[in-house]
Chains A and B, each alone.
Chain A
Amino acid sequence: MSAGNALTRSAPWRGTAWVMGKLGFSGRSLVIAIPMLWLGVFFLAPFFVLGRISLAEALIARPPYTPLFDRAPDGSLQIIASLENYRFLMTDALYRNAYLSSIRVALVSTIFALLIGYPIAYYIARAPEPKRSVLLLMVILPFWTSFLLRVYAWMGFLRSNGVINNTLMSLGLIDSPIQMMQTDFAVYIGIVYTYLPFMILPLYANLTKLDGALLEAASDLGASPMVTFFTVTLPLSLPGIVAGSMLVFIPAIGEYVIPALLGGPDTLMIGRVLWDEFFSSRDWPVASAVAIVMLVLVVAPIMWLQSVQNRREEG
């Protein structure tokens, strides 16, 4: 007997279905309700709480913020909400700089990921079959190990007495170690390393679809390989470039772990500012305001861009 048959014939199932039917619930609405309720409570509702606490003031208490409703001295209920935290974010240069530098770091890392990822994707797309699968697997393989440990691997590599400096010094190329850890450079490396397959895979998917006849036509008409690449291959792979860049840029902008482990104290990124505001300063309302501004300035445009892109692909 099949699983579905056994289930729909079982007594508990029939009983529940009968009771639900009597109460006016259809099976269909129940199926819709489960994901809807879960995501409504644990994904959507938290943003309302976030918005409401961003309007509160920090308190040394549990919980460490002022309540939204409070009893006035005369006993009437009053709403306490202030935009003080947002004014603070706008006047303090730290936050503005953090937002700007997050965008800069994400952008630079995305460009580097593209420069390193494109040749690899191109090479894999042109490779004959058994080699192609092996290379593709080799690109993905490091990313099944832990993300945190991959960032940690670079700590051992970039330190003053790390592998790179030790090698260069023993070769006599440098006399004293180069400071690489705790710089923006280390953060770029960390981000490129972590998100490189997100760049390579969409590019690869795009480049395998490239019609070889177009390249032949270009070379038959006398174009050099260089010219063919820049006039045919590159423009045609633009959708892959856009998709890959988005996949690197989006997670990079809110990154916390990479700047925390590889960056220096002056590597400002908004994810790190939010983390410190919450865990070190214990200022929950300001942390919430930072998150709300991040949602409006960074996440909303990205979601809008993606929906535009999706519609274009479908149309």
Chain B
Amino acid sequence: MRGWFLPLAVAFGFIFLYAPIISLVVFSFNESRLVTVWGGFSTRWYGELLRDRQILGAAWVSLQVAFASATLATIIGTLGAFVLTRFSSFTGRLLLTGMITAPLVMPEVITGLSLLLLFVSMEMTLGWPAGRGLPTIIIAHTTFCAAFVAVIAQSRLRSMDESLEEAARDLGAGPVRVFFDITLPVIAPALVAGWLLAFTLSLDDLVIASFVSGPGASTLPMVIFSKVRLGVSPDINALATIIIGFVLVAVVIAGWLMRRGMRQGE
């Protein structure tokens, strides 16, 4: 593995990772409608994107869904993780363990189809949910994102110093107070990470949303997919470039904050 082979393999790997993204960004500034033939520099696709009501509307739907389901998933995932790490035995412990880890390996097509069938049966027998749209997408995303939050919260709850909780209990705090004053502040960074992961997972999901959404509610991936299916289109390149820009800025800010935090820690 020494010598020329390893650097060459690594260089190839990074070209593989970045070349498609770089070409995507470059061709978003292309004047020509043909995505892969250079026709001069232009920002016209960004203008068209900003006038595209369908894409802007779908982006708003996606943000609402992602915000709501990340928040709900963080609450449910944290409760699940707390129950599994702090309550040693209760009826249904095995069932809860299974239900909280299974969504991680469940193919999206199965999760989507089975949830849709549940919603349809519930509508017939209970009358709720009447039709499908934002609420059903939020429920579906909450369910699969909660599993990811639970994994993160569980590892943090396991590694934290439980004597802190014991000390608070010995000093007379009730379980609710111990949770809100000791446990929650300690695991808060992990929960922020979990919320962010759930938010991105929800923003990224196409398959589950396609199954459980109704005619009125299309998320951004659903709109992108229906456009992209017909072939490449330059305004999608522009959209991708904007998203990549957002991610880069977020990473730079996060890196700067972390560095500052570390310096203050010293």
| B2 contacts A by Cβ under 8 Å | yes
Assess the B173–A157 pair: CB atoms within 8 A.
no
Whether A7 contacts B180 by the Cβ 8 Å rule is yes
B243 neighbours in A (Cβ, 8 Å) = 145-146, 149
* Chain B residue, CB-CB nearest to A310: B101
- In Å, the complex CA distance between A298 and B105 comes to 10
Q: Judging by beta carbons under 8 Å apart, are B10 and A123 in contact?
A: yes
- By the criterion of a CB under 8 Å from any partner CB, how many residues of chain B are at the interface? 92
CB interface residues, B 219-266, toward A, < 8 Å:
221, 224-225, 228-229, 231-232, 236-237, 239-240, 243-244, 247-248, 250-251
Given contacts A153-B240, A161-B37, A162-B36, contact A3 B181 (CB under 8 A): yes
Contact A155 B180 (CB under 8 A): no
Q: CA–CA, A47 to B232, complex, Å?
A: 37
- Contact segment of A36-44, A75-83, A89-97: A36-44
Cβ of B6 and Cβ of A116 under 8 Å apart?
A: no
Q: Which residue of A lies closest to B173 (CB)?
A: A4
The answer to whether B143 and A39 touch across the interface, beta carbons within 8 angstroms, is: yes
Chain A 58-85 interface mask (CB, 8 Å, partner B; 1/0)? 0000010000000000000000000000
Contacts of A155 in B (CB 8 A): 228, 231-232
B146 at the interface (CB under 8 A from A): yes
A254 close to B23 (CB less than 8 A) = no
Contacts of A32 in B (CB 8 A): 83, 87, 90, 92, 96
Q: Does the CB pair A4–B9 fall under 8 Å?
A: no
B residues 32-66 near A (Cβ < 8 Å) are 34-37
Alpha-carbon distance A122/B99, docked complex (angstroms): 35
Which of these, A36, A119, A141, contacts B9 with CB under 8 Å?
A: A119
Structural contact, B100 and A120, CB atoms closer than 8 A = no
A109 within 8 A of B: no
Number of A interface residues at 8 Å Cβ cutoff, please give it: 86
Neighbour of A152 across the interface among B113, B204, B228, CB < 8 A: B228
Task: Name the residue in A38, A141, A157, A166 with the highest tally of chain B Cβ atoms < 10 Å from its Cβ.
Answer: A38
Q: In chain A between 198 and 256, which residues have their CB closer than 8 angstroms to a CB of chain B? A: 225-226, 229, 233, 250-251, 253-254, 256
Query: Taking the complex as formed, is A176 at the interface, i.e. its CB lies under 8 A from any CB of chain B?
Result: no
Chain B contacts of A5 at CB under 8 A? 177, 181
Interface centre among B92, B113, B180 (most CB of A within 10 A): B113
Contact across chains for A154 and B224 when beta carbons are under 8 A apart: no
Q: A residues within 8 A CB of B229?
A: 260-261
CA distance A205 to B110 in the complex (A): 31
- B residues less than 8 Å from A193 (CB atoms): 16-17, 20
Q: Are A148 and B2 in contact (CB under 8 A)?
A: no
Which residues of B111-163 are within 8 A (CB) of A?
A: 111, 113-115, 117-118, 120-121, 124, 139-140, 142-143, 146
Which of B146, B179, B231 contacts A35 (CB under 8 A)? B146
Q: Which residues of B contact A (CB under 8 A)?
A: 1-2, 5-7, 9-10, 12-14, 16-21, 23-24, 27, 34-37, 76-77, 79-80, 82-83, 87, 90, 92, 95-96, 99-100, 102-103, 105-111, 113-115, 117-118, 120-121, 124, 139-140, 142-143, 146, 173-181, 184, 200, 203-204, 206-207, 210-211, 221, 224-225, 228-229, 231-232, 236-237, 239-240, 243-244, 247-248, 250-251
30 A-B residue pairs with CB within 8 Å: A4-B178, A8-B176, A28-B90, A35-B80, A38-B142, A43-B103, A116-B9, A116-B13, A123-B6, A138-B17, A142-B18, A146-B203, A146-B240, A147-B204, A149-B24, A152-B232, A153-B20, A156-B20, A156-B23, A156-B36, A157-B20, A159-B36, A161-B37, A193-B17, A226-B1, A257-B207, A257-B225, A260-B229, A278-B211, A291-B109
